[in-house]
Amino acid sequence: MKRFSFLTPLFLAVVMFLAACTPNIPDASETPQEPAAQEQDAPATEEPDAPVAQDTDAGAEPITIEFWIADAGQRDEWEEMIERYMEQNPHVTVNSVPLPWADAMTRLQTAAATGTLPDASSTITEFTVPLNTMGAIAPLQSFFEDFSDRDYIADVYIQQITDSGDGDLIFLPTFASANFIWYRTDWFEEAGIPSPETFDDFFYAVEALTGDGRYGFGFRGGPGNFWPAVPFIMNYADSLYQFDDDGVSIFRSDIALEGFERFMSIPANGWSPADAINHSFPEMAADFGNGVSAMFIHHLGSRPLIMETLTEDQFGVLPLPVNSNGNRRVAIGPHGVQMFSNASNQQETFDFISFFLLPEQQHTIALHWGGIPANANTITEGIPFLDDAIAMVNDPRTSALREPLHIPEYSIYGEQHKFPDIQSIMLGETTPEEVLLKWAEDIEEMNRQHIALEE
């Protein structure tokens, strides 16, 4: 059985630059990225041996834990794992509450402001950092020191989370997600086009595969449109960071503008469906599976939607293009589980959330949500496309992007500004140059204000 090792060039490189730079982590989508889609029809695969049930005190006092699922699309898998936990810990009752993904950040912040948070929830870095600044997050380092599988959890994930929490372990990592190019292998073979490796290859294929009711690329113009767009710009510009040493944004550079203009040329030239301005990841996956588009960018969680209409000999995943310097800059970041400072039974709550870092749960997560598991003991054999994901991570040309998540306001800037700005370009109301200048000015000002507050 195959187990995943984290001793890869990407992860080692991430550890090195995290130690040397201002605390922040890559966005899961500028990554972090959004949660994987819910699995509908999982393939048969070997399940790891179930762990021996934990010893429980027959006279233990009953405990109730409230847990919010920050993506209702993952409800079935969370509840399956929660049932396992309660079977092994019969004195604990877990009440789960699913939240719509689009509303999760707002719901969590509102609950923090009104003192109505649950004991714990699933999370991504963008959710936890603002909550931590509100004093709503319980630091987990002291609990984690005694965790049974502590030595098997990827150090890079722990380091990323600790840096984003100004030295505190503000959530536990369950997996990391990264974007790839989903592509119709049968269309490429039919057209005699090799799979793209560079940006020039990519744009050639996008244009060449457009025609006769087909489109070369499924563009994301709807909610979350900035998740693929910003990493695309950063990769094209060959920059890991959004600021230089003087605090000047990379968005002011000519190469960043060139990359953004080329990216936005896809809908402008009709190389993506006409209604792409309304498309988020379910619509992109549906177009891909229904023979509308040849490629789209998303993480491995799209596979279940694609498998509703295609077979695995019709499609595959590719790493993102390498830039003109031969490098690949990828948005990758941890998803996980957090405990709130108001949790009344903190040790029991930690025991509950750390359960999701054990190999059996890690296997469920990797299988259904398309993430790279946090626990090195996770059995990955038989999980479709995970080997391809690991190959991109192992590629020495790949390095992890980092967003300025040390700036609290940045976590909501994407939804409030980047999302409508990209749509305004698609509507012809503004230009990529005007938008990039706005983003540069806004982010530089946020950074200056953050530095002033720290001083």
In a shared domain, residues 126 and 246: no
Domain-terminating residue out of 330, 360, 375: 330
In a shared domain, residues 79 and 167: yes
What's the CA gap between 127 and 123, in Å, rounded? 6
C-alpha distances (whole Å) from 189 to each of 193, 194, 295, 313, 314 are 6, 8, 14, 12, 10
What local confidence, expressed as pLDDT, does residue 455 receive?
67
Any residues with CB less than 8 A from the CB of 428 and at least 6 apart, and which? none
In a shared domain, residues 141 and 197: no
In this structure, what CATH number is given to the domain that contains residue 370? 3.40.190.10
Q: State pTM to two decimals.
A: 0.75
Q: Are 173 and 167 in contact (CB under 8 A)?
A: no
Residue 234 tokens read as: 């950063």
What digits encode the pLDDT tens for the residues 345-362? 999 999 999 999 999 999
What local confidence, expressed as pLDDT, does residue 265 receive?
98
Q: Is the pLDDT of residue 26 over 80?
A: no
Q: Is the pLDDT of residue 51 over 60?
A: no
In a domain, 430, yes or no: no
What's the CA gap between 64 and 55, in Å, rounded? 18
Work out the percent of the chain whose per-residue pLDDT is above 90.
Answer: 66
Contacts 24+ apart (CB under 8 A), 49-58: 49/360, 50/360, 51/88, 51/358, 51/359, 51/360, 53/87, 53/88, 54/88, 54/89, 56/88, 56/89, 56/90, 56/91, 57/91
pLDDT band at 20 (very low <50, low <70, confident <90, very high): very low
In a shared domain, residues 43 and 170: yes
Any residues with CB less than 8 A from the CB of 10 and at least 6 apart, and which? 330, 332, 393, 394, 395, 398, 399, 400
In a domain, 416, yes or no: no
Lowest-pLDDT choice from 203-212, 387-396, 434-443? 387-396
What local confidence, expressed as pLDDT, does residue 56 receive?
46
What local confidence, expressed as pLDDT, does residue 258 receive?
98
What's the CA gap between 439 and 57, in Å, rounded? 56
Output the CA torsion 423→427→429→435 (10° steps): 30
What local confidence, expressed as pLDDT, does residue 425 receive?
98
What's the CA gap between 308 and 289, in Å, rounded? 8
In a shared domain, residues 265 and 366: no
Q: Is the pLDDT of residue 387 over 90?
A: no
Pairing of strands 332-339, 172-178: antiparallel
In a domain, 125, yes or no: yes
What local confidence, expressed as pLDDT, does residue 155 receive?
85
What's the CA gap between 125 and 159, in Å, rounded? 13
Q: Are 363 and 371 in contact (CB under 8 A)?
A: no
Domain-terminating residue out of 330, 359, 392: 330
Lowest-pLDDT choice from 157-161, 261-265, 326-330? 157-161
In a shared domain, residues 132 and 236: no
Helix (H, G, I), strand (E, B) or coil at 206: helix
Lowest-pLDDT choice from 132-146, 147-161, 432-446? 147-161
In a domain, 453, yes or no: no
Mean pLDDT value across residues 192-199 = 97
Average pLDDT of the chain is: 87
In a domain, 405, yes or no: no
Q: Phi/psi of residue 312, each to 5°? A: -70, -10
In a shared domain, residues 36 and 171: yes
Mean pLDDT value across residues 114-118 = 98
What local confidence, expressed as pLDDT, does residue 19 receive?
35
What local confidence, expressed as pLDDT, does residue 239 receive?
96
Q: Looking up tokens 């009709």, which residue turns up? A: 270
Residue 329: what residue type? Answer: R
Domain-terminating residue out of 363, 379, 400: 400
Q: Phi/psi of residue 33, each to 5°? A: -125, 170
Mean pLDDT value across residues 35-58 = 42
Mean pLDDT value across residues 235-241 = 96
- Higher-confidence position of 454 and 7: 454
Residue 378 tokens read as: 């996770």
What local confidence, expressed as pLDDT, does residue 30 receive?
35
| CA 150 distance to own-chain centroid | 22
In a shared domain, residues 154 and 55: yes
What's the CA gap between 275 and 130, in Å, rounded? 34
Percent helix, percent strand, percent coil in the chain, to nearest 5: 45, 15, 40
What local confidence, expressed as pLDDT, does residue 6 receive?
45
Among 396, 366, 398, smallest CA distance to 382 is for: 366
Domain with 104 in it: 9-178+332-400
What's the CA gap between 273 and 215, in Å, rounded? 6
In a domain, 146, yes or no: yes
- What is the count of structural domains for the chain? 2
What digits encode the pLDDT tens for the residues 268-323? 999 999 999 999 989 999 999 999 999 999 988 888 889 999 998 999 999 999 99
What local confidence, expressed as pLDDT, does residue 164 receive?
84
In a shared domain, residues 121 and 159: yes
In a shared domain, residues 27 and 129: yes
What's the CA gap between 135 and 113, in Å, rounded? 10
What local confidence, expressed as pLDDT, does residue 28 receive?
34
Q: Looking up tokens 């040390």, which residue turns up? A: 406
Maximum distance among all Cα pairs of the chain, rounded to whole angstroms: 70
In a domain, 63, yes or no: yes
Mean pLDDT value across residues 414-436 = 97
pLDDT band at 59 (very low <50, low <70, confident <90, very high): low
In a domain, 86, yes or no: yes
**Using the 8-state DSSP alphabet, how is residue 70 labeled?**
S
In a shared domain, residues 142 and 42: yes
Output the CA torsion 130→235→156→389 (10° steps): 110
In a shared domain, residues 34 and 144: yes
Among 401, 376, 357, smallest CA distance to 174 is for: 357
